[in-house]
């Protein structure tokens, strides 16, 4: 079965609202195994070089799953589907901004989701840090970009007459985490097809 945000089982609620499908909508039990597949035709499936394209900006601004619950005070900022139905995920956005009760409810929902997401991502983050900083458990050779950077540093040491191996080692030790990995972690749009944050 293919799970989709909106499909024929989605119901229109009073006021023209349509809730995005969740795992609960499909009655997916806990500890189920899911498989992610690429979409055949999707506004999200853009090339890595389409950062400035109109389509890239449009698709991410109109994404119901990526938009904030209260983007503005007008209803025009609400995401709509092809039939003109207003879409929401877990909590309907208010057209006049959040009330104190709604804000507390949203905070509680997002705190729970944040903690669940942290637990889900923890293994992957640990694996990433292990791959970045561990040299003993490396099963594959260094990526070509890192090998090139290390070779360049060796050439620069020879060219400038630096014979102390500790100096070259310090260059490499500092350059790998600080200049290579931190740059990729701080700028994930270099690697992944996501919109660059504006702040």
Whether 20 has a pLDDT exceeding 70, the answer reads: yes
Let me know: does 162 contact 153? Beta carbons within 8 Å.
no
Query: Measured between alpha carbons, how far is 138 from 135 in angstroms, rounded to an integer?
Result: 5
Whether 75 has a pLDDT exceeding 80, the answer reads: no
Task: Give the chain's mean pLDDT.
Answer: 72
> For residue 161, what pLDDT is reported?
94
pTM of the model: 0.33
Residue 65: which residues within 8 A CB-CB, separation 6 or more?
5, 20, 89
Nearest partner of 19 among 88, 66, 109, 96, judged by Cα: 88
Nearest partner of 37 among 45, 47, 25, judged by Cα: 45
What is the rounded average pLDDT of the residues 87-111? 69
Whether 45 has a pLDDT exceeding 60, the answer reads: no
The structure tokens listed for 29 are: 């039990």
The structure tokens listed for 136 are: 């003993």
**Residue written as token pair 């490396």:** 138
Give percent helix, percent strand, percent coil of the chain, each to the nearest 5.
Answer: 45, 5, 50
48 pLDDT band (50/70/90 cuts)?
very low
- How far is it between the farthest Cα atoms of the chain? 76
Helices H / strands E in the chain, number of each: 5, 3
Let me know: does 177 contact 132? Beta carbons within 8 Å.
yes
> For residue 26, what pLDDT is reported?
84
Residue 85: which residues within 8 A CB-CB, separation 6 or more?
12, 16, 17, 18
Let me know: does 21 contact 4? Beta carbons within 8 Å.
yes
The length of the chain in residues reads 199
């Amino acid at each position: 079965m293919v799970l989709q945000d909106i499909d024929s089982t989605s119901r229109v609620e009073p006021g023209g609202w349509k809730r995005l499908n969740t795992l609960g909508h499909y009655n997916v039990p806990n500890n189920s195994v899911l498989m992610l597949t690429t979409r055949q035709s999707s506004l999200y499936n853009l090339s890595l070089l389409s950062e400035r394209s109109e389509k890239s900006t449009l698709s991410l601004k109109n994404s119901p799953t990526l938009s904030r619950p209260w983007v503005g005070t007008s209803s025009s900022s609400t995401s709509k589907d092809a039939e003109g139905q207003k879409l929401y995920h877990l909590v309907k956005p208010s057209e006049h901004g959040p009330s104190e009760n709604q804000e507390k409810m949203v905070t509680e929902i997002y705190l729970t989701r944040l903690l669940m997401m942290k637990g889900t991502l923890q293994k992957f983050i640990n694996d990433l840090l292990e791959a970045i900083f561990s040299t003993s458990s490396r099963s594959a050779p260094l990526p070509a970009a890192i090998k090139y950077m290390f070779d360049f540093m060796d050439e620069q040491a020879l060219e400038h007459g630096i014979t102390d191996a500790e100096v070259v080692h310090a260059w490499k030790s500092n350059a790998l985490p600080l200049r290579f990995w931190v740059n990729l972690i701080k700028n994930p749009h270099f690697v992944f097809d996501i919109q660059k944050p504006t702040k």
